[in-house]
Structure 1
Amino acid sequence: MADSQEANLRIVERHPVVLDSYLPYGMYRPGGKGGGVLQWKVGQSREMFACLADPSVAPETWPVLLRPEAGVWRRYDISMSELTYRLLADESFAEFGTAGLINPPFFIRA
């Protein structure tokens, strides 16, 4: 994730307009003051996945941020493991995951 963040910082230095995609939170800068968006994935549909990093609290408490292409950040106060579950199984997250695309599991009695 650190390499990805460094790459994002280099892009912002060359193209400052990119900073707008981190609004209203701003971009997380390691070693800087305060928190911000710590992006960790861009999906195939250009949706963005991130944490709202805050060095003053434990990382496992950082909220998850999701942003559809050309959309606004959506904040979820959930853990990464719950996000993974929701991306796979919760149809309210279908815009970002595979929920609804895969049939639910079922069992046949022998």
Structure 2
Amino acid sequence: MEEMWVERIAETTNWEPLRLELPWNSMEEDLGTALPADYKKLAETFGTGEFSEFMRVLSVDATRQFDLTHIWHTYLDTSPEEGPDPVLKPYQVYRPGRRGLIPWAFAEMECSYFWLASAEEDPATWPIVTRGNPYPWHEVSMSTSEFVYRVLADPEFEPFSIARLMPEPDFYPIGPVS
């Protein structure tokens, strides 16, 4: 079912799937948890890049600019070990063995997208947590790929959708193909 959303994103953006093989084992070992399967399929299909000049989904990136574990470590290094993070309040950064946020995408208008992750839960059930300037935090219960699709193509998906502003979604690769 979730693979369907990745296929819909590719179709909507006129993208030919790359079918990359990415080093998920080392990434998941570093994080101390598995990642959602549909997110991995999305990264393998598109590689590193930007959707509709708006959303950049993190993945494995040799430049580290869009590398999920590098960005997560940046949050981890600046976040208090206990209690809410002042930048992420009322949430905290994910740490192995605890529940917290793992960043998976960024967008224009200071939008940030995270999973509320726990190694004890199935990654397919992690809610998406997002906020954007000036919007407050929102929790959304859906898969990563469905969320991306709806941001790009569903004008009723408020306050997240860019479909009215960018009625023809596209994808631009950034940097070398991993």
TM range (shorter): 0.7 to 0.9
Percent of counterpart pairs with the same letter? 28
2:90 to 17, 21, 24: 24
Distance 2:127 2:167 in 1: 29
| 1:14-53 mapped onto 2 (5 Å cutoff) | 19-29=85-95, 31=96, 33-53=97-117
Q: Residues 72 and 103 of structure 1: is their aligned pair in 2 closer, same or farther, counting only changes over 3 Å? A: closer
Q: If the length of structure 1 is used for normalisation, what is the TM-score?
A: 0.73
Q: Give the Cα–Cα distance (whole angstroms) in 2 for the partners of residues 83 and 41 of structure 1.
A: 11
Q: CA RMSD in A?
A: 2.3
Query: TM-score, normalising length from structure 2?
Result: 0.48
Residue type of the alignment partner of 2:123: P
Which residue in 2 is equivalent to 1:107?
none
Instruction: Between the two structures, name the one with larger relative contact order (CA 8 Å, sep ≥ 6).
Output: 2
- Pair 1:11 & 2:78 matched: yes
Q: 1:92 to 1:25 in 2, by over 3 A?
A: farther
Ranges in structure 1 where 5+ consecutive residues have no aligned partner: 105-110
Q: In the alignment, is residue 60 of structure 1 matched against residue 120 of structure 2?
A: no
Q: How many residues align?
A: 98
Larger Rg: 1
**C-alpha spacing 1:102/1:38, structure 2 compared with 1 (3 Å):** same
C-alpha separation between the residues in 2 aligned to 1:34 and 1:95? 29
